[in-house]
Amino acid sequence: MRKFYIPSLLLSVLIFTNSGKSVAQSDTLRARELEEITVNAFESKTNPLTTTATVGLITSRSLERFPTNTWANAVNTIPGVKMEERSPGSYRFSVRGSLIRSPFGVRNVKFYWNGIPFTDASGNTPLNSLDYGAVQNMEVIKGPGSSIYGAGTGGVVLLQSQPDNDFTNRFEQSVSFGKYGFQSRNSTIQVGDISVQYGHSEQDGYRNHSNMVRDAIRFTSSSKLGERSTLSILGMYSDLKYETPGGINLAQYQNNPKLARQSTTTVPGSEAQQAAIYTKLALIGGNYTLQLSDSWTQSNALYLTFTDFANPFISNYEKRDENGIGGRNIWQNRSQIGNVKTSWTTGFEWQYGKSAQRNYDNIGGMPDKQQTVEDIRTTSLSVFSQLEAVVFTDLKLSVGASYNTFKYKYERFFALPYSKEERKFDGIFVPRFAANKVIAKNWAVVASYSGGYSPPTLQEVRPSAGGFRRDLEAEKGMNTEFGIRKTGKVITGEISLYHFGLRETIVRRTNEAGAEFFINAGKTRQNGLEWTIAYDILSDPKLPVMLKLWNTGTATKYTFESFQQADVDLSGKRIPGIPKFSQTSGLDALFRYGFAAFVTYQHGSSFYLNDANTVENTPYNQWIARVSWKKSWGQHFYSELSASAEKVNAGIYSLGYDLNAFGNRYYNGAPKDNLWAGVKIGWEWQKNSK
């Protein structure tokens, strides 16, 4: 029997384990022995206690604690990490406050999917194109990852799609339903190391004009080619449509929080303009790993993407056709010199994207007179190297750095006259230093000093109304962090304290029509405290119930250090969108005969909605409960039934605010109660062996 430790830094999500067939789970899906968790952050492939990174982990078992409509609830259990869904399909994802740049989508957080870059060359991540079932694991690296993952100041997320058991042939079908017209269907077939999945989800939405429909198919395989090499292939196609209701002001919210953005005498509203996002995304990629010798390993990842994007908006109808290509090459050497173990990782990442952008007048959701014809080409290159050494058996030192170049080429064909511009961000050198000292086998002290570099994304240099903002500067900053961790069989925990000083901070502005544009806001000072703690109240599988109580939390003080807006000095003001305090608590129970119950409570304090700190939202308290019953019916057939409920207490409740919104349209109303239910059935056969 192998020991399995829940690491302190991963306590924000819960993993119950067993070895063999325990009494408490004898009627669940076949009990599977879990191996010790490996953290892959910064290519270290180490155990969680000794990693030099601050990491949060979500696994397939963690996701079982929440309804299957979104990853957001699970993500939000990780301290310092926030995922929002302002309306169905409209995702935002932030690590330590990076939402300030994201009116929609995911920016300033670098994503990789099965080792393949999923964030494109220009810094955008199409996370909403992924079906819920496409991802079984997320590893969230908090703090700048530029020393080995290229440009970014807001963190890195490593996504994995893999079946629960790599060596089981199976067919699985799940169906879920919920309030506000939610329904989803997911089909998976796995034969050996090949898995194909189709997912369909749709919602009417809580608000007016917030319907969403998504169909996605995914193909993955991971095959050994001889004794020393592995080839993994990832393919997906997604067809997504979601309506964008837009923000409303406080009086409108208080009158009816379900309202979409209303028309005025000069500007039509969201429903009148049929505002929506239509995006078709195809991706094909591969990752080839070769064990050159006992010490040397090489891996190569390549990908191609094709995107057909349309956005009828209040002020225009935007159409984009985008192609992307890129790859990542890594060489790694693991050696031992005397008592010193070393790991040297070096390589490069290159990405290229072309975006053909057309804007038209929008007449009730249909394109009309042409406004702009523009092309933008983006090229990014990051060359990186990192050396880790374990000395005195319990002290790990890490030194890394990257050299980054980034370039935009812009052409305007209409409106005339023709113009051609270029913007380069060259020669950016970004370092990282970190250390981890293990004390008394289950305690560790961690310290790091790392740089961040984040050039403006394509949607920031080319805002929705068209044009090219070549005056925007790249964000640059340094992060200093200190932490203490503990692992154990009963009590585990971690506390981290960090300071991030950011220069040329990019912030969003909007005009009367709602079209956004971006400016640099000078310097910001970002201080934070994060913690996790968990207590195994009852952990003996022979008891009728296994219980665990846990808590995670974040306290922040993010302020503008030097920010002059026109004649107003905003220095010392708090950065909007960042709660001063938030915490999540959970009680998890596993009963005999496959029954399980989970209760999660989350509290978020108020925060400012604009840079001037004149408008503030209200705190909220959220309760989520889920019960499930898993049952194996013989050697092949298995099933699962589940039900979930959510209740929120808040004066104003939004799953994402529009910061610095023109006309005080900050609010995107969200439901304060919700219900879901689901059923899953599956058939397993012909177990394969390693």
The residue ranking higher by pLDDT, 27 or 94, is 94
pLDDT at 8: 33
**Residue 285's pLDDT is what?**
97
Q: Is residue 29's pLDDT more than 50?
A: no
Q: What does the pLDDT look like over 317-341, one tens digit per residue?
A: 999 999 999 999 999 999 998 889 9
Rounded CA Rg of the chain? 25
DSSP string, 149-177: H-SBSS-EEEEE---S-TT-EEEEEEEEE
Predicted confidence (pLDDT) at residue 107 exceeds the cutoff of 80: no
Task: Kindly state the average pLDDT of the residues 371-391.
Answer: 95
pLDDT in tens, 573-594: 999 999 999 999 999 999 999 9
**pTM, rounded to two decimals:** 0.91
- pLDDT (tens digit per residue) in 674-690: 999 999 999 998 765 54
Alpha-carbon gap, residue 643 to 598, rounded angstroms: 11
For the chain, give the percent of residues with pLDDT over 70.
91
State the Cα angle at 116 between 110 and 121, rounded to 5°. 50
Cβ proximity of 173 and 151 under 8 Å: no
Position with higher pLDDT, 427 vs 177:
177
Highest mean pLDDT among 247-256, 463-472, 563-572: 247-256
Q: Is the per-residue pLDDT at 523 higher than 50? A: yes
Lowest-pLDDT choice from 20-29, 231-240, 580-589, 662-671 = 20-29
Per-residue pLDDT tens digits for 464-499? 777 888 888 888 899 999 999 999 889 999 999 999
pLDDT mean over 369-381: 96
- pLDDT of amino acid 21: 39
Question: Residue 25: which pLDDT band, with cuts at 50, 70 and 90?
Answer: very low
Beta-carbon contacts of 416 under 8 Å, excluding residues fewer than 6 positions away, are none
State the pLDDT confidence band at 261, using cuts at 50, 70 and 90: very high
* Nearest C-alpha neighbor of 34 from the set 10, 9, 2: 2
Burial label, 614 (beta-carbon count in 10 A; 0-12, 13-18, 19+): exposed
Q: How far is CA 244 from CA 23, 160, 347, 388, 513, in A?
A: 49, 29, 41, 47, 15
Res. 201 pLDDT band, cuts 50 70 90: very high
Tell me what pLDDT residue 297 has: 96
Top pLDDT among 97 and 295 is at: 295
